[in-house]
Chains A and B, each alone.
Chain A
Amino acid sequence: MDTSFAPEDLAFRDEVRAFFAEAYDAELQARLNKLDTFKDAVIDWQKRLYQQGWIAPGWPKEHGGTGWNATQKFIYETERTAAGIRDVIPFGLNMVGPVIYEFGNQEQKERFLPRILQSEDWWCQGYSEPGAGSDLASLKTKAVREGDEYVVTGAKIWTSYAQYADWIFCLVRTNSDGKKQEGISFLLIDMKSPGIKVNPIVSIDNHYSLNEVEFNDVRVPVANLIGEQDKGWTYAKALLAHERTAIAGVADSKRNLAQTREFAGREVNGGKSLLSDPLFQKRLSDIEIELMALEYTELRVLASVASGGAPGAESSLLKIKGTEVQQAVQELKMEVAAYYQGVLLNDLAPEKLGHDFGSQARQSYMYGRAATIYGGSNEVQKNVIAKAVLGL
């Protein structure tokens, strides 16, 4: 047993740290935090990562990835989150990109991959439907072949950033006979196609990132089909494995917990620091202890992947525990803000309001509720473990 990093890993860590400190500057951060500059700022940041050669840590080298080993990827992720740097928008880089290089044809690879790496196209994901959530395979959006085109009709929901997207990758039903998983196809659809309508959904945190996307007789060239017709479920499942890397969010939770502790040290209750209150300390350490364990659970999975194991149902464990811890920290941080957790808008400057983190804490808490629902709800993850690990 040995939990130390090799010298070359430590050198790599220093390199990553130095780059982030220099490149993720205050001006960029300010633009990322404002709604009207958000999209352009994200693209600028991702282009900077592309120039650095670090835009796609998870991709193989031949397709423009970094070629990093599991330890390097872990270090990169840890440093990124520790520095408070937002992840890349995942839909192109972590989701459809890997599907295209694994299952797409040569023409599709040449057409889409460079534009994904360079953040020229903004992608969104068309999986869930109003009637298909955790039971994704029951999806009904229909694609009917007519000559060289599919005609797509139906609706997708919970589509993040559809309002910015140039492209959407969709699971569509091309066959209703047989098992429901067997008649699904994987289609790439241009968001500018006639017949697409994007309806905004305002979420519980009062923000707008989610949408419903309607498809009314949208015509999609057959050239945009990934792999074989009716085989899309296989490709979608492969994608889920990519989606679950670093899913535990340990570094994020550590940073959030440290902040919660710091804020609690500044709050005064009955003349004493909130941090000195034994009941508060218990809530804090309940979470910290679980997180200390989770950090090593993640390292253990990582070490097993690095030595050739496949991350199977362990990623379900990381997802469940990781999201439980995330939500627990978000909840506690919001509690630290007391009345100020209710402050809706930041149009009063913090110095006038007398408080600076209440709204942000509430928004994280509110939107954070989604973490145990998306990516396969935690109940579905438990079903996965019951079957794959426990053999039930």
Chain B
Amino acid sequence: MNFEFSEEQGMLRDSVARYIQDSYDFDTRRKIAASEEAMSRANWQTFAELGWLSVPFAEEHGGFGGSPVDTMVVMEEFGKGLVLEPYLATVLLFGGLLQRGGTVEQQAELIPRIIEGGCLGAFAYLERQSRYELADIKTTASAQGDGFVLNGEKVVVFNGASADQLIVSARTRGEQADQDGITLLLVPADAAGIERRSYRLMDGQLVANIVFKDVQVPAANVLGEQHAGLALITDVVTAANIALAAEALGIMGQLNAKTLEYTKTRKQFGVAIGSFQALQHRMVDTFMAYEQTKSLLYRAVCELDGGGDDVAACVHALKVMVERSGRKILGEAIQLHGGMGITDELDIGHYVKRLLMINTTFGNGDYHQAQFNQLRYSA
């Protein structure tokens, strides 16, 4: 039994960490966030050259053949730097769906392009009414001739504004919230009948609402099995939730470290405020919250990596813990920084906002706790 990273994983971590340290400081990041696409295509090319875009893909497509642990390593470091480039949207969601459910032709065409940085992707799953239910889908794909006609609207699509290619979840039969009857379709973002409206979220990322009006999709663009897309979505989202938790852990570590450092230098009443026991015990609480989150992350990633039968429960538990620990940590980070904690100038608030977006992505703590309870306690 060991919790060490392999030599390769250590090198991967160091490579991302060094990049963040040298080329992704807070001011640089702020400029990227304010730019038109809220990300840097030049950085994306660098990610490609450093091999990071290849991490989860199979070697037959030029990928690194990495495990969930490798993805975790990358995402934790991205969290520390609040990286804006669309790794989750393009590599883990769009790429994850292709890797798991794509046809041989789809994979051969798109995965190498993702790896070289030449294809940005997005997964359009969320609708106005669906909140955290992945199966709540009104967008329809009706059979027509040798393909489908897509109609409907997707909202808050991560990387939706910049993506070249979309994977869209659509209903091909059944009622609005049925688990059956969901089909995934690969759609070029510039297809006729697509209208995109982009806007920014509090964490700096640019997202889009996308309207599909009589968009023609050939049958060859179905991803995975027709009507049975939900299982594929669930698998990819489960892995993505672990990756997001790793990103959150990176953020929590930064918040704790920065807060601790601040209390050692900030003086009030003639002493460093870190000398006050009332604050010390709160920082011990956030330290423990961080360690407990890390433990559940390791548990979930080992379970997924080892093909265990408790992956779903572990991931639900992890999302609950990320929210619980995250709220404690972000709250203390703001409070202990005093007035500076509520300024836009300081990086603390930016970490906080990304952490809050992670909490709400693919289900908040309450949603996942209800799922956990259902799995564990229903007869």
Residues on A facing B (Cβ under 8 Å): 1-5, 71, 261, 265, 273, 275-276, 278, 281-282, 284-285, 288-290, 292-297, 299-300, 302-304, 306-307, 317, 320-321, 379, 382-383, 385-386, 389-392
Chain B residues with CB under 8 Å of A265's CB are 379
- Contact call A3/B295, Cβ cutoff below 8 A: no
Complex CA distance for A1 and B20, rounded to whole angstroms: 24
Closest A residue, CB atoms, query B9 = A1
Chain B residues with CB under 8 Å of A307's CB are 2, 4
User: What total count of A-B pairs have CB within 8 Å?
Assistant: 126
Chain B residues with CB under 8 Å of A382's CB are 280-281, 284-285
- Contact call B299/A296, Cβ cutoff below 8 A: yes
Q: Which of A4, A297, A391 contacts B306 (CB 8 A)?
A: A4
Q: Which of B284, B296, B320 contacts A390 (CB 8 A)?
A: B284
Total number of B residues with any Cβ neighbor in A under 8 Å: 43
Complex CA distance for A285 and B313, rounded to whole angstroms: 11
Q: Which of A5, A275, A303, A382 has the most B CB atoms < 10 Å from its CB? A: A382
- Contact call B277/A297, Cβ cutoff below 8 A: no
- Contact call A1/B280, Cβ cutoff below 8 A: no
Q: Which of A261, A300, A320 contacts B3 (CB 8 A)?
A: A300
Can you list 26 A-B contacts with CB-CB less than 8 angstroms, sorted by A residue number?
A1-B302, A2-B2, A2-B302, A71-B1, A261-B377, A275-B379, A278-B373, A281-B377, A285-B369, A289-B369, A293-B321, A295-B299, A296-B299, A297-B295, A300-B3, A300-B294, A300-B295, A300-B298, A304-B3, A321-B292, A382-B285, A383-B277, A386-B281, A390-B260, A392-B263, A392-B280
B293 at the interface (CB under 8 A from A): yes
- Contact call B301/A292, Cβ cutoff below 8 A: no
- Contact call A289/B321, Cβ cutoff below 8 A: yes
- Shortest beta-carbon distance from B284 to chain A in Å: 4
Chain A residues with CB under 8 Å of B314's CB are 292
B291 at the interface (CB under 8 A from A): yes
B283 at the interface (CB under 8 A from A): yes
Chain A residues with CB under 8 Å of B277's CB are 383, 386
- Shortest beta-carbon distance from B182 to chain A in Å: 27
Complex CA distance for A155 and B158, rounded to whole angstroms: 69
Complex CA distance for A392 and B288, rounded to whole angstroms: 16
The digit string for B58-73, where 1 denotes a CB below 8 A from any CB of A, is 0000000000010000
Chain B residues with CB under 8 Å of A261's CB are 377
- Shortest beta-carbon distance from B359 to chain A in Å: 15
- Contact call A297/B292, Cβ cutoff below 8 A: yes
Complex CA distance for A5 and B2, rounded to whole angstroms: 10
Q: Which of B5, B284, B291 has the most A CB atoms < 10 Å from its CB? A: B284
Q: Which of B5, B283, B291 contacts A386 (CB 8 A)?
A: B283
Closest B residue, CB atoms, query A292 = B317
Complex CA distance for A386 and B264, rounded to whole angstroms: 12
Complex CA distance for A306 and B1, rounded to whole angstroms: 9
Q: Which of A278, A297, A302, A306 contacts B291 (CB 8 A)?
A: A297
- Contact call B283/A299, Cβ cutoff below 8 A: no
Chain B residues with CB under 8 Å of A290's CB are 292, 321
- Contact call B373/A317, Cβ cutoff below 8 A: no
- Contact call B275/A392, Cβ cutoff below 8 A: yes
- Contact call A392/B283, Cβ cutoff below 8 A: yes
- Shortest beta-carbon distance from B266 to chain A in Å: 13
Q: Which of B2, B264, B293, B306 contacts A293 (CB 8 A)?
A: B293
Chain A residues with CB under 8 Å of B294's CB are 300
> In B339-378, which residues have CB < 8 Å from any A CB?
369-370, 372-373, 376-378
Complex CA distance for A389 and B1, rounded to whole angstroms: 25
Complex CA distance for A295 and B321, rounded to whole angstroms: 14
- Contact call A293/B305, Cβ cutoff below 8 A: no
Closest A residue, CB atoms, query B296 = A293
